């Protein structure tokens, strides 16, 4: 996976551009809605929802933190696992593109799993 040029994607610590699904034209986040955070998290590999259980994961650390799920333009949720739900594309259901923490209600969208416009 190509390394991310975080600097070109952020403006004042937030997402500079519109965030889209990596596979379909679905719009996930408007500019300046997500806050860039670094978190160590093992995110299951991307797969289609209907393919069943994930068996592999990768360490992903660059995220857009979104404080309220209603701040997303479009987002879907997978089933609950432990205290989180994984975020998937609302239209094509590719994912996980991040996760929702059921305790804190915070959402984390992986920069490497989405597409950014104008970059």
Interface ranges with Zn ion (CB under 5 A): 21, 23-24, 26, 89, 91-92
Shortest CB 49 distance to Zn ion, Å:
11
Shortest CB 92 distance to Zn ion, Å:
3
Judged by CB, which is closer to Zn ion: 46, or 89? Answer: 89
Assign 112 to helix, strand or coil.
helix
Is residue 6 within 8 Å of 108, Cβ to Cβ?
A: no
**Strand-pair category, 57-66 with 107-110:** antiparallel
Judged by CB, which is closer to Zn ion: 61, or 115? Answer: 115
Neighbours of 18 (CB within 10 A): 16
Shortest CB 82 distance to Zn ion, Å:
25
Judged by CB, which is closer to Zn ion: 12, or 51? Answer: 51
Residues 6+ apart with CB under 8 A from 25: none
């Amino acid at each position: 996976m190509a390394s991310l040029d975080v600097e070109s994607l952020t403006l004042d610590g937030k997402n500079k551009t519109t965030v889209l699904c990596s596979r379909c034209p679905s719009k996930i986040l408007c500019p300046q809605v997500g806050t860039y955070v670094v978190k160590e998290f093992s995110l299951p590999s991307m797969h289609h929802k209907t393919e069943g259980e994930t068996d592999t994961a990768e360490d992903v650390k660059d995220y857009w933190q979104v404080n309220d799920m209603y701040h997303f333009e479009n987002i879907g949720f997978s089933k609950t696992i432990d205290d989180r739900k994984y975020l998937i594309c609302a239209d094509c259901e590719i994912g996980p593109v991040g996760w929702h923490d059921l305790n804190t209600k915070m959402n984390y969208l992986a920069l490497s799993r989405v597409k950014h416009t104008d970059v």
